């Protein structure tokens, strides 16, 4: 009865200034548990399945393991029942988040940006709704037309346009590409915040920073600030903890595909669900979702020029390399690890934040259909997932005062990766010559040497 009343209350809470109903998390708690025995693991799996608890880490009950951290959101009416069960079976726990709704309220901006605030007065230390991000993209292009172009990518399930920004210094040479996307999971607001920060930093510093100045001679940057636009808007307007896109399934009785389980990389084989109500529902087939298809078509078209694929998520502080669907190492795993460790070391220098580095299947959990794995499988040599701050203190609801330090340290890591790629493929600093132009260059050099002698 209490659970029923809580659900009605949660769905029926009218938010100030809104005409739509918004899911509330008042009194919900996130618990941190580390099971010590197999029996405790079994009990926790039973609790999560029977009470439909919201697992934040890991995402699936079957991935709960002895000695492994578990983060779970418990609805307010069930908090005491869950704690009593844990006490009964001598399972220790701590409260990570005592009231989820308090954190949610803190993360919402007090006021919206006006058109005049973009881009000079645009705040990069608060979270922005999609309408402001759309406007920011347009203004960034208009204010930096010598470097930035906005390109149409496709449309979402709900028919919203998807755009990416291309940062490119004018050149008559064909350059290589670094791809970055953010916001594939709607609730991970720090990810789009970082994509915006990244663009801002590049544009502010490309003339004065020697690393940025150098790699922009050779590399174009493609940035997709929000991949999952429908889901992101839904997380602002209806459910802050929404993860998936908004595809309707089962005649509209359930919604959403996890877009990071929907790419054609061993699709549907491990770490997914075929239940459309699950947060890791993989869709009806590989690239079944328009958002996934739009990204995949562009990447396929450009894949011979793309040297690095970066996808930004939260949380848990990882830099992840392929693969998630198998424990077999990637062909260049040693180099991928070397570069990731360099990036993690650069990140740590700023604020002492520690990131773990490794393949998803070995240090996190197994999953299939991820964009990172797919990018590497089609031949993009460097492919990484970033899981940004924090370690669970705030989880998916990272407060706005964490945006700047998170972005500052992440910027150092990303620049480290791009700089490595730049030096590897353009060791002389200039755009790499093709084999034919290199042959012509050598021929002319020999002819000129012979003529002089």
Point out the residues that are catalytic.
387
CA distances from 124 to 117, 119, 120, 192, 301 (A): 11, 10, 11, 10, 32
CA distance 276 to 278: 5
Strand partners, 222: 166, 179
Q: What is the gyration radius of the CA atoms in the chain, in angstroms?
A: 23
Residues 6+ apart with CB under 8 A from 234: 186, 242, 246
CA distance 299 to 301: 5
CA distance 273 to 440: 55
DSSP collapsed to 3 states, 146-199: CCEEEEEEEECCCCCEEEEEEECCCCCCCCEEEEEEECCCCCCCHHHHHHHHHH
CB atoms within 10 A of CB 14: 11
The stretches of 208-322 forming alpha helices (DSSP H) are 210-218, 229-237, 290-302
Nearest to 386 by CA among 144, 133, 192: 192
CA distance 235 to 23: 10
* Chain centre to alpha carbon of residue 411: 14
Rounded to the nearest 10 degrees, the angle between the axes of helix 130-143 and helix 190-205 is 10
Secondary structure element (H or E) that encloses residue 363, with its range: helix 360-363
């Amino acid at each position: 009865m209490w659970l029923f009343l809580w659900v009605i209350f949660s769905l029926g809470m009218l938010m100030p200034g809104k005409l739509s109903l918004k899911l509330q998390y008042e009194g919900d708690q996130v618990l941190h548990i580390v099971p010590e025995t197999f029996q405790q693991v079994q009990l926790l799996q039973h609790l999560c399945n029977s009470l439909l608890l919201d697992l934040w880490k890991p995402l699936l009950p079957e991935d709960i393991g002895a000695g492994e951290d578990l983060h779970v959101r418990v609805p307010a009416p069930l908090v005491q029942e869950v704690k009593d069960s844990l006490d009964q079976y001598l399972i220790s726990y701590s409260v990570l988040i005592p009231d989820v709704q308090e954190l949610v309220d803190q993360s919402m901006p007090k006021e919206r940006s006006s058109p005049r605030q973009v881009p000079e007065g645009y705040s990069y230390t608060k979270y922005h709704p999609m309408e402001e991000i759309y406007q920011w993209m347009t203004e960034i292009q208009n204010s930096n037309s010598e470097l930035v172009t906005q390109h149409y990518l496709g449309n979402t399930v709900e028919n919203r346009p998807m755009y990416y920004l291309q940062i490119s210094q004018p050149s008559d040479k064909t350059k290589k590409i670094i791809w970055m996307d953010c916001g594939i999971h709607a609730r991970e607001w720090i990810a789009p915040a970082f994509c915006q920060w990244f663009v801002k930093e590049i544009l502010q510093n490309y003339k004065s920073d020697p690393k940025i100045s150098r790699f922009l001679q050779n590399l174009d940057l493609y940035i997709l600030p929000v991949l999952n636009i429908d889901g992101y808007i839904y997380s602002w307007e209806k459910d802050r903890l929404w993860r998936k896109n908004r595809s309707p399934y089962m005649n509209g009785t359930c919604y959403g595909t996890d877009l990071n389980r929907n790419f054609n990389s061993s699709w549907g084989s491990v770490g997914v669900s075929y239940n459309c109500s699950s947060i890791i529902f993989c869709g009806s087939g590989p690239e079944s979702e328009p958002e996934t298809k739009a990204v995949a078509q562009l990447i396929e078209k450009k894949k011979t020029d793309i040297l690095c694929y970066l996808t930004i998520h939260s949380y848990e502080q990882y830099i992840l390399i392929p693969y998630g669907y198998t424990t077999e190492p990637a062909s260049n795993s040693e180099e991928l690890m070397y570069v990731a460790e360099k990036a993690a070391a650069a990140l740590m220098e700023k604020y002492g934040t520690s990131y773990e580095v490794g393949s998803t299947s070995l240090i996190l959990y197994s999953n299939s259909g991820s964009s990172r794995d797919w990018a590497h499988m089609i031949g993009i040599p460097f492919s990484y997932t970033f899981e940004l701050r924090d370690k669970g203190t705030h989880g998916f609801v990272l407060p706005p005062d964490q945006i700047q330090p998170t972005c500052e340290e992440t910027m150092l890591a990303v620049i480290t990766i791009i700089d490595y790629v730049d030096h590897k493929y353009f060791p002389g600093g200039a755009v790499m010559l093709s084999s034919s132009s290199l042959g012509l260059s050598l021929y002319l050099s020999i002819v000129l040497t012979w003529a002089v002698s």
